[in-house]
Structure formats: C-alpha cells, structure tokens
Amino acid sequence: MALRGASTGQLARSLRAAWGQQQSRALVTQSLPDLPYDYSELEPVICAEIMELHHKKHHQTYVTALNATAEKFAEADYKGDIATMIALQSALKFNRGGHVNHSIFWTNLVPPKDFEPPSGELLKAIESNFGSLDNMISIFSPKTAAVQGSGWGWLGYSKDSGKLVLETTANQDPLSTKGLVPLLGVDVWEHAYYLQYKNVRPEYLKNIWKIVNWKNVAERLEAAK
C-alpha cells in the first residue's frame, strides 16, 4: 500500500486496517443527573425557585452544550481538523466543567432536617489541617466571597501531600485544574443565590453550612485517598 505522503491519521488508519484491527470510540452522551432531594427541600437556605432554575435550566444547558460541542469535536478529530479542535477547547472546558462541578455540588448538599456535622476521619483531617471546622469555615467563606465575577469555592484533597486545601476556581474551571480532588464545592455564580440573596453573597455563604452533606464529603475523601 502507498504509505509515502500519507498524513499521520491516514497512516494510523491504514496500519490498523492492514493489521485487521478496528478502532472505534463511542461518543459518551452526558445527561443531567437527578437531584437526591426535591427542589424545595433545601429551604430556607436555598429556595425552590433557585434550585429548579439551577438544575433544570443552568445545569441542563451545560449538558446540552457539552454534548453538542463534544460531537463537533469528535467530528473534527476524525477529519483531522486540528484548527476546529483547538477552537472548541474553551467551550469543552466551560461546559464539561459546568457539568462536572454541578454534579458534585448537588451531592454536596442535604436538606437541613438531615444535616449532620462532620465526624470520624473527615473531622480528624479537618482538625489536623485547619484546627477546627469553625476555623476552616472562617477561611473558606471570605475566600469564596472574594471570587471575582463567577466561580467556585472548594475544599479539595491533594494526593501529593495528603492535605486538605481550600481553593477557588474561576467560571466553570474544574478543581482538577488546580491539581486537587474536589470534596466540597460551593457555587458562587450569581445564579446560585441571586433571587434570594441578591448581592449579599456573604449571607448565602453563611447559610450554606447548614446544608452541607458532610457524609458525602467524607465519602469523596475516602475515595480520593
């Protein structure tokens, strides 16, 4: 077969065909996860109207856009159209990040009636890294309130150091961009709190601690170690 002058992609496909191998990669379609509670169950901390918009509209939009972008990316990849692949990368990051971040966020929250403070290994880790839960919150909240524009506040785990780290990310950048495993994320895009708290982001951040699902955070920490 004429391999001279073939592009790398053509070469690879020719070789695979020659060896009788077929390579196919199924495009995985993402979907909106269900919430583990009803829209109204996080009241009075987050009202039902916010929860419904946040889940059904905002998160759904990330999923829909992500699927559309991923399909375009796969097509460009197949054609070897690297210019399009590069042009799509920011949309991929934004929409995949949005999907990942919100999927984590929903599991990080629990109705106030089911709230339990952290315990066991998680509590030990919090105390060893921050002195106390209160101290951790006293750093987390102002740091997250200070995010410029849209973004997230995070409690993350560093696989390298074994430490718990407080971080923030801009827009929908996932925490993995900071080299950390996300344990707890708090959305501070205005859509997460505006209808109820308006510009008073610190009030939202004060109240969110009443609905953090520490069991879920503990599970994530265990899985990360």
Choose between 172 and 213: whose C-beta lies nearer to other proteins.
172
Residue from 19, 148, 160, 161 that binds other proteins (CB under 8 A)?
148
Site string for other proteins, 80-99 (x = CB under 8 A): ----------x---x-----
Residue from 109, 136, 141, 151 that binds other proteins (CB under 8 A)?
151
Bridge partners (DSSP) listed for residue 155: 166, 184
Residue from 53, 76, 85, 133 that binds other proteins (CB under 8 A)?
53
Residue 211 contacts residue 113 (beta carbons within 8 Å): no
77 among the known binding-site residues? no
Choose between 32 and 123: whose C-beta lies nearer to other proteins.
32
Structure tokens at 192: 């997460």
Nearest-angstrom CA–CA distance, 166 and 184? 10
Structure tokens at 189: 């895009």
64 binds other proteins (CB under 8 A): no
User: Residue 23 burial (CB < 10 Å; 0-12/13-18/19+)?
Assistant: exposed
Choose between 14 and 84: whose C-beta lies nearer to other proteins.
84
Whose CA is closest to 70, among 104, 31, 32, 28?
28
What's the distance, CA 41 to chain centroid?
Answer: 22
Alpha helices (runs of H) in 46-131, residue ranges in sequence order: 48-52, 60-79, 82-87, 89-107, 120-130
195 binds other proteins (CB under 8 A): yes
Under rule CB under 8 A, which residues in 156-175 are in contact with other proteins?
Answer: 170-172
Structure tokens at 160: 């390298």
Residue from 189, 205, 214, 217 that binds other proteins (CB under 8 A)?
189
Binding site for other proteins (CB under 8 A): 53, 57-58, 61, 90, 94, 148-151, 170-172, 189-191, 194-195, 198-199
Annotated binding site for Mn(2+): 54, 102, 187, 191
